[in-house]
Structure formats: structure tokens, C-alpha cells
Amino acid sequence: MINSPRVCVQVQSVYIESQSSPEEERYVFAYTITIRNLGRTPVQLLKRYWLITNGNGRETEVQGEGVIGVQPHIEPGEEYQYTSGAVIETPMGTMQGHYEMVDVSGNAFSIDIPVFRLAVQTLIH
């Protein structure tokens, strides 16, 4: 059995008030993802999958090749960081998903991205 490479994913999200329009039920969030390769071999991110859930429980799935138009290679001890965005109809929601990756030997593996919150700061208690 092949051990999956050690990859760590960290997420930070922020509400973008200037692009949002609450009266039109449009809430824009940016999220910054940091992917760290803690293993000993290079890895490449091939695909992404997101499940975005708004505050009313409506789910939207997003999937595709790479992230922000690239399929980054991440060397051992290195990290790759990018920022993207999501638009939902409520001031609070969540995102979760996974990345499909491959190691230098061509072995495919998946890295889960645990649920994280999209929330207008004034609503967090």
C-alpha cells in the first residue's frame, strides 16, 4: 500500500463588502488557500471540488481542472497559495471540498478540505 504524501491545506475567508449587495441577496467572499507539501516528494494539484452551502441550506457544486487556471507543482517543503472567491445569497454559509492530486510516481490521491465558514463579520458572535 502506498502512503499518501503529506499535504496540509489552510483556509482564510473574508467578506468583500464593496462587491456585495445585500438588498439583492448577493454576498461576496474571498478565500485564500495555502497548500503545503510536508512530504518528501513533489506533488501536483490536478482538480478541485467544492460544495458551497448558503445559510438556507442551498448547495452548489463547483469542480474543474486545477485552481485559478493552473495545476501547480509543489516541491517538498514548499507551499502554493492562491485567492479565489464565492458568491452566495445569504450573509453566512460554508464551503468544503477536496483536491485531486498526483505524486511524482503518478499515484493519484485526494486531500480533503474541511468545512470552513463564509460569514459577514458583523454576524459572528
Which three-class secondary structure state does DSSP give residue 89? coil
Identify whether 1 is part of a domain. no
The pLDDT value given to residue 122: 73
Which of 46, 66, 61, 57 has the alpha carbon at shortest distance from 109? Answer: 46
102 has pLDDT over 60: yes
Identify whether 13 is part of a domain. yes
Which three-class secondary structure state does DSSP give residue 84? strand
Question: pTM of the full predicted structure?
Answer: 0.90
Range of the domain at 24: 7-117
24 has pLDDT over 70: yes
The pLDDT value given to residue 80: 98
Which of 95, 98, 114 has the alpha carbon at shortest distance from 52? Answer: 95
2 has pLDDT over 50: no
Integer-rounded Cα radius of gyration of the chain = 16
Identify whether 122 is part of a domain. no
Distance, in Å, from the CA atom of 26 to the CA atom of 76, rounded to the nearest integer, reads 40
